[in-house]
Amino acid sequence: MKKVTIAIVYHSRAGHTERLARLLTREMTTDRSEVHLVGVDEAIARPELLHDADTIVFGSPTYFGNVSAEFKQFMESTGEFWYRQPWKDKLAAGFTLSSTINGDKLNTLEAMMLFACQHSMNWISLGVLPRFLHNEQTEGQNRLASYIGLMEQCDNGEHVINGQHPGDLLTAELFARRVVQVTVRYMGGQEGI
């Protein structure tokens, strides 16, 4: 069976988003899928890298409640081909992170989803429920209670990039698995991976 192709297009200023994008690349690379990691500058210069993908995963830090200026520049560059709708019926998903629990990350994911919808894409939700024990939410999977896409809380350092919160790491791994499973299923393969 032909492998599905997933492109992760992202912007990272301090390195946190790149760390998460690289983790997702590793987790999404399976015997059923190949993954291309594409920075926004390369995506602007070579949009065919995204045209050829079955699924495009968008990643940006949340700055002032939205995608970064560099990611927005990438979004706007797609206006050159938007009217042709080359991404119509492709799958899309998104991830973001910021240094605070909330940080208005939901707005960033909504901006990505709206962008995907304007390209007539089909959005893959996070698909990971928060975990509760004795009626209390744990610090485990989906501890930030996101449903639209992957959210992570990172430190605020610009010189040292610390590891992920264990709950966010687990959520990222589950999200990666879901993106691959949905893509394989959508492209006519079997559900199991």
pTM: 0.93
Instruction: Indicate the number of domains in the chain.
Output: 1
Task: Report yes or no on 21 lying in a domain.
Answer: yes
CATH assignment of the domain containing 111: 3.40.50.360
Q: Which structural domain, as residue segments, surrounds residue 170?
A: 4-186
Task: Report yes or no on 90 lying in a domain.
Answer: yes
Task: Report yes or no on 191 lying in a domain.
Answer: no
In this predicted model, what pLDDT tens digit does every residue of 70-92 receive, in sequence order? 999 999 999 999 999 999 999 99
Task: Report yes or no on 193 lying in a domain.
Answer: no
Task: State the Cα–Cα distance between residues 167 and 190, nearest whole angstrom.
Answer: 29
Task: Report yes or no on 81 lying in a domain.
Answer: yes
CA angle in degrees (0–180, nearest 5) for 58-177-36 = 45
Task: Report yes or no on 60 lying in a domain.
Answer: yes
In this predicted model, what pLDDT tens digit does every residue of 142-178 receive, in sequence order? 888 899 999 998 877 666 677 788 889 999 999 999 9
